[in-house]
A = this chain, B = another copy of it.
Amino acid sequence: MKQITAKDIDSMEQRFRALFVNSLSGFKSANLVGTVSDEGVDNLAIVSSVFHIGANPPLMGMITRPHTVRRDSLENLRATGFYTFNHVHSGMLKQAHQTSARYEADVSEFDAVGLTPFHSDTVKAPYVREARLRIGLQLEEIKPLEINQTELVIGRIVEVFVDDQVIAGDGFIDLEALETVAISSLDSYHSASSLGRLTYAKPDKQPEFFG
C-alpha cells in the first residue's frame, strides 16, 4: 500500500485533491435539499453531506460550503426556518445531479431540471414529488465551523413521507426497495446490494446475519 502524506495532499492540484479527499469519507447519502426564498422561488440542491445526529429528539446534520460561494439553500432555510431532504433514487439521478449547476437565484431548479415540487401543510419548503422518501425539517441551529468556514446545519425532523410497505416490523426502512442511491467522491453514484443485517453485538457471542 502506498503512504500518502499530508504534504502530498497539500501539493495536489485542486480538483484532484477535491476528488481524492472526498473519496475518503466512503459511501455517502444522496439527498436533494428543498427550500423556498422570501420571494417565493423554490430551490433544490443535491448534497452528499447529510448525516444522523440523534434519534430522540430526531435530528439530522448537513455541512454547507464556505461563505465564499453563493448558497441559496442556506440563505433560504435561515430565512424560513424550514427545509426538506429528499432521497435520490436511481430513476431521477441525472435530474438530481443537474441541480448542482449554477442557475441564477431567480430560477427554480425544479423547473430547470424537470422535477415536481410537492407541499405539505407543516413545512414551509418544497418536497420533491418524485422522491420516495421525503423528510421535513425545522431549523434548530447553524453552527459555524471556524476551522474551514463551513457551517453545520442542525434540523429537527417534523415529518417523513414514505411508503409504509418498506418499513420493517422493527422500524428499519428498506432503502434498497426505494432504489435510494449512494454517492462516493464528488460525482460517482452507486446502487446498494444487501449483505444482510447483523444481530446486536455482545461480547460473548458471534453476530449472525438476519433479514
Contacts and interface: CB of A to CB of B under 8 A. Distances in A.
Contact of A5 (B14, B158, B189): B158
A133 to B, nearest CB: 7
A12 B193 contact: no
A57 B148 contact: yes
Contact of A203 (B51, B57, B101, B168): B101
Interface stretch (A36-44, A67-75, A138-146): A138-146
Given A147-B154, A194-B188, A206-B98, A17 B162 contact: no
A185 B150 CA distance: 27
Of A10, A15, A60, A162, most buried by chain B (CB within 10 Å of CB) is A162
A152 B150 contact: no
Nearest to A189: B195
Contacts of A145: 53, 143, 154
Given A1-B163, A29-B25, A90 B195 contact: yes
Contacts of A19: 168, 170-172
Interface in A65-93: 85, 87, 90, 93
